[in-house]
Amino acid sequence: MDMTWYQDLESRIPTGEVRTRFAPSPTGYMHVGNLRTALYTWLIARHGGGKFILRIEDTDQGRFVEGATEIIYSTLKECGLTWDEGPDLGGPVGPYIQTERRDLYAQYAKLLVERGAAYYCFCDKTESAEDSGNFEKTEDPCRSLSSAEAQARVDAGEPFVIRQKIPQGGQTTFHDAIFGAITVDNDTLDDQVLLKRDGLPTYNFANVVDDHLMGITHVVRGSEYLSSAPKYNLLYEAFGWTVPEYIHCSPVMRDAHNKMSKRHGDPSYEDLKAQGYLTDAILNYVTLLGWAPKGENSEQEFFTLEELSKIFELSGVSKSPAIFDREKLNYFNAHYLREMEPGAFYTVAEPYLKEAVKTPDIDLHLIAPLVQGRCDTLCDIAPQVDFFDALPEYSNELYCHKKMKTDEQNSLEALKVTLPVLEGLTDWTYDSIHAALVGLAEKLELKNGRIMWPVRTALSGKAVTPGGAVELCQILGKAETLRRMEKGIQQLS
């Protein structure tokens, strides 16, 4: 085989820097495990002052989902995980989409055949068997074909796959940054398919070739790939290539026994956004699913991406599976909501406010500050404020409050004396309303709550509201406030 092509590709490989890659398949939304892999990969690159590469692994065309590549781009951009090389940016070792590199894999697979590390297989396997290599290598008659026999059948146009020729006997050892050195018996490894009948590579072959040609120094993936790592090592050795540092991350679990799965309704990044979670909170929480800061940062919970890029160390990655705890995510999200500047909070809250309050005269800017400190997620907004749009049916029991010392009778009396006071106000502002209600309570020698609680109840029809009587009066406006108080009087009479 003329090796000019090989030497040309080798000469293009970047060296002397940390290079990581995120290589998703365009098969749907970004689930939490994928997002964590992208995060760790990005953090390793940024912490090491290196390059973060985006590569699209689309060789499994049967699982390709239209629009999924765009979701990958938009999710990474929204999360701030910027890449230095990729399909849209280009770079020194492109293309960065596997199907556009198709011809490369066949050349490398045939080179392995020449070196005795792979062989042509003409057996009529099912497609699933081809993809998985799920059979005993000693039972495959093609493994023992001579080079001349195999080449003759190829030249005759007989369909074939190319399989990795795992050494018989002996052991293979690989090293992982998290799990340490792992040794397996070669007899437990199958002769996996490298090149399929359609000329496309399997994932297990393409990612090895691409990682080498792109100069990848650190490979982050799920611990489910630990069983494949020995075969990857044997491929690197057969080519004479340097093995990158492996970082196998334990799975994200729904509970102690079950992995998170889209099939079982577990959320993707897009789902979490739709459920009212902020990107910053999601990223912060997902980073801590299986990683913990060390030293002076060990007690810290909240981090920006920039802070994480400075302190992220592989020694903080855990071997143990991480359980996705919705309550913990709520805790993180609530913190980020409370810490937002009022203007920024209004921007993210506005769609949820508009969903619940459609009355044009109501100023949503007045409602936003009342709910900012009362939400775990943005979806908590609508149920708290829907009464502004329409007063719900409610029970008179809401007027009865032990601490405020109110009951149905004295609430009725409070509304009757308050109504003309508010009717007489010409300046409908927070300060004037507050002064009027507090002044009335003082005049009647009552505690403020004896007036405020009945008014708040009449205006909201709820036991709990964001804001008290004064805020609700201000937001609802004079006419609607008086209308609801009159309704309350009728209901209590």
The region of weakest confidence among 23-37, 68-82, 221-235, 349-363 is 23-37
The band of 136, judged by pLDDT with boundaries at 50, 70 and 90, is: low
Q: Does 135 have pLDDT greater than 50?
A: no
Exposed/middle/buried for residue 298 (C-beta within 10 Å: 0-12, 13-18, 19+): exposed
Cα–Cα distances (Å) from 476 to 95, 107, 169, in that order, read: 59, 73, 81
Q: In this structure, are residues 227 and 254 in contact, taking their beta carbons and an 8 Å threshold?
A: no
Q: What is the pTM of this model?
A: 0.92
Question: Measuring CA to CA, which residue among 428, 433, 411, 437 is closest to residue 489?
Answer: 411
Q: Strand, helix or coil at 342?
A: helix
Task: Centre a 10 Å sphere on the Cβ of residue 232 and count the other Cβ atoms it contains.
Answer: 22
- Residues 6+ away with beta carbon under 8 Å from 90: 96
- The label of the residue with tokens 């990044």 reads 269
CA–CA separation, 444 vs 338, rounded Å?
38
What mean pLDDT comes out for the span 397-417?
97
Express each pLDDT in 145-195 by its tens digit: 999 999 999 999 999 999 999 999 999 999 999 999 999 999 999 999 999
Question: Measuring CA to CA, which residue among 157, 220, 203 is closest to residue 20?
Answer: 220
What mean pLDDT comes out for the span 393-401?
97
Average pLDDT, the chain: 94
The predicted structure's pLDDT at residue 133 = 47
227 vs 27: which has the higher pLDDT: 227
Which residues are part of the catalytic machinery?
Answer: 262
The region of weakest confidence among 265-279, 343-357, 406-420, 468-482 is 265-279
The predicted structure's pLDDT at residue 286 = 97
